[in-house]
């Protein structure tokens, strides 16, 4: 299935669930939900999660190579939030009549904007003794000296 078909299928399932159907009656346990920007909740049933996985995979595979790298699972979380926000804002209303060529770029843009806003600074902590360089004599790194803990 294509990108537009998967998006249409996902929107149809979200519409069905949020127009009076009880999502918990069809699920084993509670369905997953996302709180949107405007404070509303969007429920994702098993069927909508499966469709979301396929939609996310298509979007992930077709991203330009020069963009930020992200694993599919994390990318799917961002796509889920973006779809939920757009659905709660009723941007998908009349999806059949509206032009999907406008909605798909908007969704892609929203996802990429959220990816760009994620902090890209990583810090890794490790114990100083892991190298063992201080065992024979103190090890100096600029103004800092590393001593054996016994000294």
| pLDDT attached to residue 116 | 86
| pLDDT attached to residue 22 | 65
- Specify the higher pLDDT residue, 76 or 25: 76
How many Å apart are CA 85 and CA 39, to the nearest integer?
Answer: 9
pLDDT for 63 beyond 80: yes
The CA R_g of the chain, rounded to the nearest whole Å, is 23
pLDDT digits (tens, 9 = 90+) for 97-140: 566 678 889 999 999 999 888 756 665 655 656 666 656 777 77
pLDDT digits (tens, 9 = 90+) for 67-77: 888 899 999 99
Q: Where in the chain are the domains?
A: 3-117
Task: Please list the residues that pair with 145 across neighbouring strands.
Answer: 140
The CA-based angle 34-113-41, given to 5 degrees, is 15
pLDDT for 146 beyond 80: no
| pLDDT attached to residue 137 | 74
pTM of the model: 0.74
- How high is the mean pLDDT of the chain? 82
């Amino acid at each position: 299935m294509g990108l537009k078909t998967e998006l249409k299928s996902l929107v149809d399932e979200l519409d069905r669930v949020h127009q009076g159907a009880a999502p918990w009656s069809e699920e084993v346990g509670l369905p997953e939900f996302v709180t949107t920007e405007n404070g509303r909740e969007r429920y994702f049933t098993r069927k909508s999660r499966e469709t979301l996985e396929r939609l996310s995979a298509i979007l992930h595979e077709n991203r330009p190579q020069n963009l930020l790298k992200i694993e599919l699972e994390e990318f799917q979380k961002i796509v889920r939030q973006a779809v939920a926000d757009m659905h709660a804002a009723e941007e998908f209303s009349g999806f059949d009549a509206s032009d999907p060529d406008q909605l798909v770029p908007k969704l892609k843009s929203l996802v990429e904007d959220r990816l760009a806003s994620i902090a890209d600074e990583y810090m890794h902590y490790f114990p100083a003794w892991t190298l063992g360089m201080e065992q024979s004599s103190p090890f100096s790194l600029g103004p800092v000296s590393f001593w054996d803990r016994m000294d």
